């Protein structure tokens, strides 16, 4: 058994098994989306992105610098195919696309789940200069935060067992019917089996928290239309600090920005998604 005190190697971690892709031919890969990463009606969108991005990385080499996914239909647990296309192989940067498809059980027809466009490079080879004005979120200590298991336990939320999240209590008033109204959710995150973060797992980390609309007093789900992630550095081992916020809820849509900071205090990823606002009950 793997405990948090004994970090999982990337060979036996839940995340690495879930994102495993088997090469078939000509840029085509087979994958299997495990039910363990289900949240509500589908498989978590960040995990599905990580699967497609892993296949694309196998073709391009390197790790993701900037990746965009458009979500076309809800992913289900089970077999999936990823087809990649290389657009450019450069000295330092390479670009390609990935399409993740599944066979619809009902119709027997293939349905595209996500289309990805990404540019990859060598994070280890980046210039060391940092001129950042971004400041990490101020969070209470891990021990003073709310655990992800303090919230309501709903069916089909297997995803919640895959991560440990410690929420800033100031953002979680909505659990008691008292949302702050700010549209911010922040906290600490790590994978439950102790697998340390890396550029691929950051693609999952940016979309692992509940939607910020919960903090605006708007219950319900926010389906992602599009998610773009910039991975800016290889994260140091340990807890990640994640801040999600929205500034512009309008026209039934909202953007949701995430910043991910590592244990060394470095901004390692920035993401933005365009999501549908929850439909009023």
Residues in the site for its own copies, rule: CB under 8 A?
A: 65-66, 68, 70, 72-73, 87-88, 93, 95, 97, 112, 115, 117-119, 123, 126-134, 182-183, 216, 225-226, 228, 230, 232-233, 246-253, 255, 267, 270, 272, 274, 277
Shortest reach from residue 158's CB to its own copies, in Å: 27
Nearer to its own copies, 3 or 132 (CB): 132
Q: Specify whether the backbone of 194 is left (phi greater than 0), alpha (psi in -120 to 50) or beta.
A: left
Nearer to its own copies, 13 or 95 (CB): 95
Nearer to its own copies, 214 or 267 (CB): 267
Shortest reach from residue 118's CB to its own copies, in Å: 8
Shortest reach from residue 7's CB to its own copies, in Å: 26
Nearer to its own copies, 8 or 100 (CB): 100
Q: Strand 184-191 vs strand 224-231: parallel, antiparallel, or unpaired?
A: unpaired
CA 104, 110, 113, 115: dihedral to nearest 10 degrees?
180
- Report the alpha-carbon distance of residue 164 to residue 149 in Å, rounded: 9
Look at residues 76, 74, 55, 71 and name the one whose alpha carbon lies nearest to residue 118.
55
218, two tokens: 């708007």
What's the Cα-to-Cα distance from 182 to each of 18, 108, 117, 210, rounded to whole Å?
34, 44, 32, 14
Shortest reach from residue 12's CB to its own copies, in Å: 31
Shortest reach from residue 231's CB to its own copies, in Å: 10
Shortest reach from residue 152's CB to its own copies, in Å: 25
Shortest reach from residue 42's CB to its own copies, in Å: 16
Nearer to its own copies, 148 or 273 (CB): 273
Q: Strand 146-147 vs strand 110-121: parallel, antiparallel, or unpaired?
A: unpaired
Look at residues 165, 187, 192 and name the one whose alpha carbon lies nearest to residue 261.
187
- Report the alpha-carbon distance of residue 254 to residue 274 in Å, rounded: 6
Nearer to its own copies, 98 or 146 (CB): 98
Q: Strand 110-121 vs strand 38-39: parallel, antiparallel, or unpaired?
A: unpaired
Nearer to its own copies, 39 or 260 (CB): 260
What's the Cα-to-Cα distance from 179 to each of 144, 163, 173, 269, 281, rounded to whole Å?
19, 23, 5, 27, 17
């Amino acid at each position: 058994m793997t405990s948090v005190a004994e970090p999982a190697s990337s060979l036996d971690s839940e995340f690495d098994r879930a994102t495993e892709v088997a090469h078939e031919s000509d840029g085509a890969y087979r994958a299997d989306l495990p039910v363990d990463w289900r949240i509500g009606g589908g498989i978590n969108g960040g995990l599905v992105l990580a699967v497609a991005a892993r296949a694309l990385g196998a073709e391009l080499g390197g790790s993701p610098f900037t990746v965009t996914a458009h979500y076309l239909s809800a992913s289900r647990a089970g077999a999936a195919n990823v087809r990649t296309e290389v657009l450019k192989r450069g000295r330092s940067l390479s670009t390609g696309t990935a399409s993740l498809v599944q066979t619809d059980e009902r119709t027997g027809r293939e349905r595209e789940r996500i289309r990805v466009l990404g540019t990859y490079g060598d994070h280890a080879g980046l210039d060391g200069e940092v001129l950042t004005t971004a400041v990490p979120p101020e969070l209470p200590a891990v021990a003073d935060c709310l655990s992800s298991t303090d919230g309501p336990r709903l069916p089909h939320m297997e995803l919640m067992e895959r991560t440990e999240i410690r929420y800033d209590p100031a953002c979680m008033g909505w659990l008691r019917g008292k949302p702050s109204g700010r549209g911010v959710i922040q906290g600490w995150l790590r994978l439950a089996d102790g697998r340390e973060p890396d550029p691929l797992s950051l693609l999952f980390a940016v979309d692992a928290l509940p939607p910020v609309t919960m903090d605006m007093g708007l219950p319900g789900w926010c389906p992602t239309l599009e998610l773009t992630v910039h991975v800016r550095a290889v994260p140091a081992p340990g807890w990640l600090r994640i801040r999600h916020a929205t500034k512009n809820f309008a026209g039934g849509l909202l953007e949701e920005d995430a910043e991910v900071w590592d244990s060394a205090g470095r901004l390692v990823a920035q993401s933005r998604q365009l999501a549908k606002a929850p439909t009023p009950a």
